[in-house]
Structure 1
Amino acid sequence: MSRWEIFIKNIQQDLKLYLFILTLLCLLRMAFIGVLHSYLGAQSTIADVLISLFYGLRISLKSAAVITLFSFVFCTLFSTIFRTGKLKRLRVIFGSIYISLLIFLFHARIPFYREFHTGFNQMIFNTLRDDISALSYTLVVDYYLPFLVLSAGIISYILCRLLQRILARDTYAAPQFAQNYQRLLFRVAIVTCIALFMVFTRFGGSLTYAHSLHWENAAATGDDFLNEAVIDDIQALYRAYSIQERVQEGADLRIDAAKVRGYAAYLTGSNFTANEIDHAFAKQAQGAKIPKPKHIFIILGESFAQWPLLDSYSSLHIADGIKGIMARPDAVHIPAFVPNGAFTPMAVTAIVSGLSDVSLYPNYHPESYKEPYATALAPQFKKLGYKINFWYGGASSWERIKAFVLAQGFDNFYGVSDFHSESGNVWGSDDRYLFDAIAASFTDDTPTLDVILTVSNHAPYTIDLAKEGFDENKVAAALPAEARDDKDLLKRLGHYWYTDRQIAAFVLKMREKEPESLFVITGDHADRTNISKTPTLFDRYSIPLVVYGTGIQKGVIPAAAAGSHINIIPTLIELIAPQGFGYYSLGDSLTRGSSIGFSHNVWITPDAIGKIQAQDAEDFDGTARTLGTRDSIQQTIDAMRALSWWRIEKGKIVK
């Protein structure tokens, strides 16, 4: 058999493999939409679904080409060059590995989307840094990992055998031509078609880059769920890798010394010529607005979203504790508030370091262990006379949390091994015992600032809710009809109720025990649980910020204020520090007119919320709106992220 005949037979086998994988990707996309159809927006139509499937087909041309390229190079070209048929088995192996990968990723994507409302993205890199034993337990107990693995294995086996049978079928022989020019034209045509096919797949169904499709421009519909369905798992992994690479290199903002100086000048309102970036963070307090509290508590409630506190959900009665505190005359609630990032570590790093999330994970970064950042909480409040403690309901090894907070100047760290706990799960103690331990620790008159991170409102959701007094039937009756039988939702709502009750009980107990106390109550993140499968941006992403205690009055923080975790440190300093007290912060104090907050993917102002890099915005009730200040919002976000990135990655010196 000639080399040309071998080549023709092999490219037919490559085409079989390509079409098989492409068909599988399309079927998996349809299955994804079918299984999670409840996440479809109410306004979505069949036309939107068809558009999603069409764009998904286009982008999956690339994903199917990945394994086909391996087959083409290592099977077709090698077989042609060496005139052998012994490599055909390699194509089956390549295809089987890829099929198994796709099926396992699909099984993982379903619970991932239910938890995070997105396909695979850069958040998966956090998994490698998490508590693997606790995570494994959660996967087994809460997400039925053994069943998923068994199901994926069986389906993979069936599909691999099917591919093997398809590739075993005969191919067409190369056509024979009498004239040399005919043979030449045919071969040129085949090679040209292969080249065009490569370009067509590379650009996602286009022959030009101008009309190419890739993960960054694949949002073809107005439905977030359908837009995520467009991105198959291979493209989602590529998206995660791309974003992570950009963040690591500062590519999103093209950060260099000149850029940093420009951003610093923008934030400070003056030319920035200093050699140390910390000068850009320098501020002076305007003077205390409340008597200096003896104790300050910053409480980060696990998955403590804001939406249960809203009047529209009052019939659920799962947030009555914090709502009762909000109603007191010495409490203020700031609704325009979002977390620092998507995960708990981002909340911790913002509170501890004062820097915004740029996916550099300061808790693992060498710069964090040289000395505390100028913007860090502990050194600045020590100057105000406080002893600084961190309390966590989980293990001190989680996310290197103990080492990080101590390196950033905290005096003490207390984890689950440091106090008595009668119940909990792999993530840590039930909140009741955490708060009991904190309350019992106040045995002298030393002024303290305590940061408290709870764990109970987290999968695998093991609180005995019935024993705690949670009325599941009452809450179910207040839910929409289609959600009343959702046991998983009721369990999540019950754990929110438990966290709310424990936080409120602790706050009221400590206020009675230590009247000269100030409490800051917020969440680490939202975006885990919503009643609606298509919540508004405000319901999905916002978290509460409640400031309660000594000297607080309703007007102490302007109603037209907005922020995120990085605004907490300067707000507290401006509330209690004497006039002229020098401090450092990236964010502005809410008392001094901070009008924007931002997280990893959304920004918020006092009356609007929108996705970063998107042109659209919403009122808090979900009504679409046009925002005239969109460019200034993006510039502020870019500037704060750039300075945070430089300080963590490059250090103090700007050069």
Structure 2
Amino acid sequence: MFDSHTAPASRWLQFVKESGRIATLWFAGVLLFMSFRVFFLIYFKDRITAQLDADAIFATLKAGFAFDSAATGVCFSIAFLLNCILQPMHLGHWVSKARLYTGRIFFIVTTLLCIVSVTYITEYGSQFNYFMLEGLKDDQQAIALTVVEQYKPWGSLLSLVILLALTFKINKVVDQKHYKFVNRLFTTCIYKRTILIILIVVLFVCAIRGSFETRPASRKWSAVTADAFVNNLVINPFRSFIYAIKDYNDLQSFGLNGHNPYLEKNLPTIENPLAAFEQKTNAPLLAAPSQVFFIVMESYDAWPLQQKYASLNLTNELSNLASKGIYLDNVLPAASSTMNSLSSLMSGIAYAGVNMSRIGPQKPTSKMSIFSQVEQLGYKSRFYYGGLLSWQNVGEYALSQGVDKVFSAVDAGGKGSAGVWGIDDGQLFDLVDKTTNDKSFNLIMSGSYHGPFNLDLDQYGYPFKSLADYPKEIQALGDDLLDPYVLGHLWYSDKMLGQFVRKMEQRYPDALFIITGDHYGRRYLHHQPDLYELTHVPIVIYGKGVNSNWVAKDQLASHMDIAPTLLNLIAPKNTEFYSMGQSLLNAPQKERTVFGFQTIRTETELWRGDLSSIYEYQKIDPLDKTRLSPNHKPEFKAVDSQTEQAYNQYMATAWHLLTRGMD
């Protein structure tokens, strides 16, 4: 009487039982990782400098669980997928073998990494990183002897043996477990089976993602507390080992030990690169302010400030500051992404296609670092970021460039309404307000004008609810305009910026403000932006005594010019400094050519793209800033050889300064 059901039921029950065994091993792996994390927190408690309350510890364990789940889930994914494929084919014994051997390999590797991580943290103060693989080039026998003599790892070896025996026992017990209760799940109903299969698959996917949320476990979300050491423990040894390999390979692929990629066109080799960038200040134009606020606005590009878009009133606050101070809109950012531009602004080294935030901390502080140079003038330096300091390694990078103190979303309660990226700009500026004191230089990186764009704009009085609310002349551009709700986040960032400047002005009447965008925003009002709108950011310098006539409004500039301009504004005469840019306070230089990464700008011409392959060209027409109708693209014009060689020399020097150092 079982003929019609026995075979299918057997395969069905074996699938469910194998899923249960895999889930049990997943749980054991997560428990192993979490146990070591708790052990690290207790064993290395002396390395924890911040006061951790119950919420901070819970946040650490919660974020750690996501990494543990993902690491374990990925390792057992092969066994799970084979279970889905082979069970219906009467090949369940191969599934059992795959799960058995996967479990053994996983627990051997995981236990070994966790045990070794104890010694590594003791020596380097962090889990596995780039330096780990550098040891492969050293005398490995000497390293082994040093470990034996210095750390006497007999206790670790004993722990390793005990844990391996325990995990092998768990693996064996799971393999022999019959899961009799699973028999209750037997059903001939195809719908019930389908629902159960979907549930198993969904749980499996969530396990390997480490999250039921929209974002999976990722390194950039690991800085959940105010203590850098605790944040480092959020990522388990297995995942940190994988990141270490990836970072090492990235560094190698960028040519850290190879040939300068910009010296392939008969350019001279780089010798004494700093010599060309040594400068001295003129007599200061301002008395040294008590506070300097260098504000880098997320995706704050130049186009919303143009006269032709003024009716939108998106950037009234910055426009107001620009009308009272120095305002430039012919400015090229260092890069097209936040971290790369920010790295250049911090270090003074132009972005040349190399990930500075990973390489920079492995090198001495740049002699062109803006933090180091303002500190010589008696300022305390601070860096504020509205997200987590683990994002793009930004916290470690800022410290590597000499900043005195870093602040992040953690210092302001953790999350704002934006959630994903950290605190809102209003909260960020409040944090700056609360922590500003003494004579300080404050570099602030905002973040609200960034996806997923989920602020409640009504509470701030944002006027545009639909495209019909746009001014008539804007509506005339077409029906396919940028969502006003998205633009509202730019409006909000600008509003918070204006409130902050006014508040600081009242508190510090002599404060100096320098404001720019990190890069062009990649969001445009219509779908026919010209090349200018696709590449430029503004610079505004505002404060007591700042005269707009000091710099011509049509002056060409780049991010690299901000630091030397600041020093020439406030530093004593003949102060020596290094910069790849130049002070904008010098005589007008209309014949100047400025560079950004894969971008070249002259007074009348603009190029963007890879000079070795395809790039765009535009002849600059001043009327483009006032007329709404998009201008037709001009005919292509090739970059002349002299300009191309100057660009390659500039980038070759930046590449050398980052990867080879200052010599």
The TM-score by the shorter chain falls in which range?
0.5 to 0.7
Identical columns (%)? 25
Instruction: Look up the match of 1:370.
Output: 363
Amino acid at match of 1:259: P
CA distance in 1, matches of 2:210, 2:292: 34
CA distance in 2, matches of 1:404, 1:555: 36
Within 5 Å, which residues of 2 pair with 1:441-520? 441-442=435-436, 444=437, 446-473=438-465, 475-478=469-472, 480-481=474-475, 489-520=483-514
Q: What TM-score comes out, normalization by structure 1 length? A: 0.57
Amino acid at match of 2:598: N
CA distance in 2, matches of 1:351, 1:377: 7
The answer to whether the Cα contact below 8 Å between 1:372 and 1:408 also exists between their aligned partners in 2 is: yes
Instruction: Look up the match of 1:619.
Output: 620
CA displacement, residues 323-381 of structure 1 (integer Å, 9 cap, x when unaligned): 111122xx11011102111100111111110111112111101x543321111111111
Within 5 Å, which residues of 2 pair with 1:119-134? none
Is the deviation greater in 283-292 or in 298-307?
283-292
Instruction: Look up the match of 1:542.
Output: 536
Partner SS state of residue 297, structure 1 = strand
The answer to whether the Cα contact below 8 Å between 1:476 and 1:484 also exists between their aligned partners in 2 is: no
CA displacement, residues 540-576 of structure 1 (integer Å, 9 cap, x when unaligned): 2111111100221011123352122111111111111
Instruction: Look up the match of 2:434.
Output: 440
Partner SS state of residue 470, structure 1 = coil
CA displacement, residues 478-536 of structure 1 (integer Å, 9 cap, x when unaligned): 57448776696222211111111111111121112111111111111114111221211
In structure 1, stretches of 5+ residues that fail to align are 1-131, 141-240, 262-274
CA distance in 1, matches of 2:265, 2:477: 51
Is the deviation greater in 532-541 or in 296-305?
532-541
The answer to whether the Cα contact below 8 Å between 2:357 and 2:394 also exists between their aligned partners in 1 is: yes
Distance 1:364-1:478 versus aligned 2 partners, 3 A rule: farther
Instruction: Look up the match of 2:283.
Output: 287
The answer to whether the Cα contact below 8 Å between 2:260 and 2:652 also exists between their aligned partners in 1 is: no
The answer to whether the Cα contact below 8 Å between 1:138 and 1:460 also exists between their aligned partners in 2 is: no
Q: 1:636 aligns with which of 631, 646, 650?
A: 646
CA distance in 2, matches of 1:541, 1:343: 12
CA distance in 1, matches of 2:567, 2:259: 31
Distance 1:248-1:531 versus aligned 2 partners, 3 A rule: farther
CA distance in 1, matches of 2:478, 2:216: 25
CA displacement, residues 265-321 of structure 1 (integer Å, 9 cap, x when unaligned): xxxxxxxxxx64322321111221222211111111111111111110011111111
CA distance in 2, matches of 1:586, 1:361: 18
CA distance in 1, matches of 2:289, 2:449: 29
Q: CA deviation at 1:435?
A: 0.5
Amino acid at match of 1:588: Q
Instruction: Look up the match of 2:394.
Output: 401
The answer to whether the Cα contact below 8 Å between 1:316 and 1:479 also exists between their aligned partners in 2 is: no
The answer to whether the Cα contact below 8 Å between 1:247 and 1:359 also exists between their aligned partners in 2 is: no
Is the deviation greater in 570-579 or in 303-312?
570-579
CA distance in 1, matches of 2:432, 2:347: 23
Partner SS state of residue 384, structure 2 = strand
Distance 1:596-1:475 versus aligned 2 partners, 3 A rule: farther
CA distance in 2, matches of 1:424, 1:414: 18
The answer to whether the Cα contact below 8 Å between 2:317 and 2:494 also exists between their aligned partners in 1 is: yes
Within 5 Å, which residues of 2 pair with 1:168-247? none
CA distance in 1, matches of 2:255, 2:547: 44
Q: CA deviation at 1:472?
A: 1.4
Q: CA deviation at 1:253?
A: 1.9
- Structural RMSD (CA): 3.2
* Count of residues in Structure 1 that have an aligned counterpart in Structure 2: 403
2:569 aligned with 1:575, yes or no?
A: yes
CA distance in 1, matches of 2:216, 2:603: 39
CA distance in 2, matches of 1:133, 1:634: 47
CA displacement, residues 191-228 of structure 1 (integer Å, 9 cap, x when unaligned): xxxxxxxxxxxxxxxxxxxxxxxxxxxxxxxxxxxxxx
Amino acid at match of 1:300: V
Partner SS state of residue 352, structure 1 = helix
Amino acid at match of 2:654: S
Q: CA deviation at 1:629?
A: 8.9
Partner SS state of residue 292, structure 2 = strand
Distance 1:505-1:633 versus aligned 2 partners, 3 A rule: farther
Q: 1:585 aligns with which of 573, 579, 599?
A: 579
CA distance in 2, matches of 1:139, 1:470: 32
Distance 1:403-1:577 versus aligned 2 partners, 3 A rule: same
CA displacement, residues 145-174 of structure 1 (integer Å, 9 cap, x when unaligned): xxxxxxxxxxxxxxxxxxxxxxxxxxxxxx
Instruction: Look up the match of 1:266.
Output: none
Is the deviation greater in 506-515 or in 398-407?
506-515
Is the deviation greater in 606-615 or in 578-587?
606-615
Q: 1:259 aligns with which of 262, 268, 292?
A: 268
Q: CA deviation at 1:394?
A: 0.3
Distance 1:133-1:293 versus aligned 2 partners, 3 A rule: farther
Instruction: Look up the match of 2:382.
Output: 389
Distance 1:490-1:138 versus aligned 2 partners, 3 A rule: farther
CA distance in 1, matches of 2:636, 2:285: 36
The answer to whether the Cα contact below 8 Å between 1:289 and 1:576 also exists between their aligned partners in 2 is: yes
The answer to whether the Cα contact below 8 Å between 1:369 and 1:404 also exists between their aligned partners in 2 is: no
CA distance in 2, matches of 1:377, 1:394: 22
The answer to whether the Cα contact below 8 Å between 2:378 and 2:439 also exists between their aligned partners in 1 is: yes
Q: CA deviation at 1:410?
A: 0.1
The answer to whether the Cα contact below 8 Å between 1:340 and 1:564 also exists between their aligned partners in 2 is: yes
Partner SS state of residue 452, structure 1 = strand
CA distance in 1, matches of 2:559, 2:593: 11
Partner SS state of residue 534, structure 1 = coil
Q: What TM-score comes out, normalization by structure 2 length? A: 0.56
2:316 aligned with 1:320, yes or no?
A: yes
2:304 aligned with 1:308, yes or no?
A: yes
Distance 1:246-1:616 versus aligned 2 partners, 3 A rule: farther
The answer to whether the Cα contact below 8 Å between 2:606 and 2:617 also exists between their aligned partners in 1 is: no
Partner SS state of residue 541, structure 1 = coil
CA distance in 1, matches of 2:617, 2:531: 11
